[in-house]
Amino acid sequence: MKKILAAGTVGILCAGGAAAQSNVVVYGVLDTYMGYTNAEGAGNVLSLDSGAYQASRVGLRGAESLGDGLRATWQLESGLASDTGAQHDAGRVFNRQAWVGLGGNWGELRVGRQNSSNFLMIARLDTFAGATYGSFLNNVSAYTPRYDNVVGYLSPVVSGFKLQAYYSLGERSDPHDGMSTAVLAGEYEKGPLYLGVSSSRQKSANGQETTQSTFAGGAYDYGRGVVYLGYYRGNNLGAAPATNVRGSYYSAYSLSANFRLGGGTTIGAGLGWGVDGTSNDRDARQISLIAMHDLSKRTMLYATLAHLVNDGGAAFTFSAAAPIPKNVPAAGGNVDGVQFGIRHLF
């Protein structure tokens, strides 16, 4: 990332000047990989894609000291496909984040388009960073990673504890809470131990149905690596809030760990299993391996190998940090995949 320290720079980026000195950081991620998947009933696909370990992006963020411990903060972030150069969302310039806020020793208040705590937490619940073909939690969960029109609060860290709360306005007249979302998260991190839980409740357009998603789990650094436990529970059994089933939930469990070999190389493995609480019999299981090698502090090579077993009506496939459902099996069909990639931070 590159820091620019100049009030004039902020004046170029924003309408109006700034009397106080501000820090502006230009940053980004480029993550490109070669992937091969074989899905029963669908065949095999070889592809070059963007965003396995992390979604490719370019962003700007900044902060301005306002005195008396008060600061103004902001962030603009746009997702892109590093394999084609295309925007992830042609309808938005900053599809990932666009918010402004105020912070102090009491925490931080942000308004605008923001990441949800569900999105932030899944990355901490398995050795696959909640991404790549290897993350079972990511492959089977259905949640919204970020929301528009959000008022968000992030608490300061107190004795290892911190809270996050978000409310996304649906901006509807009838009903007023239609398409609104409430998200609440709590985390504890001290020494080698991390624990967290995050839950969201999204209203349908008519306000009569609620899509629920919850992530929970933790991690423990044992010195040469990290052990992870992850859990997901949700009633969104399809791709849209309208497909939720009242009182019926899909649950997913994940156990994974990694080991640092030294020389910048880390290897890991994970097991995942899902239990369908409906009559659709969509249970699933997965075993995955990952290897990561740091060429520098900013450049990493990675490889994953995964085998996913679908039961009954299940047709889960592999995802990544950026959605890539290119090879969906027939119901009850298994999926095998391997990917090799490079991620660079700037």
| Of 3-12, 209-218, 232-241, 285-294, minimum mean pLDDT range | 3-12
| Of 19-23, 174-178, 253-257, minimum mean pLDDT range | 19-23
d(CA 250, CA 237): 7
Q: Where are the domains of the chain?
A: 25-345
Model pTM? Answer: 0.90
| Measured CA distances, 190 to 157, 160, 161 (Å) | 10, 5, 9
Report the CATH fold assignment for 25-345. Porin (2.40.160)
Kindly provide the b/e burial profile for residues 158-197, where b requires at least 16 CB atoms within 10 angstroms of the residue's own CB. Answer: eeeebbbbbebebeeeeeeebbbbebebbbebeeeebbbb
**pLDDT tens across 33-89, in order?**
999 999 999 999 999 999 999 999 999 999 999 999 999 999 999 999 999 999 999
Confidence of residue 240 (pLDDT cuts 50, 70, 90): very low
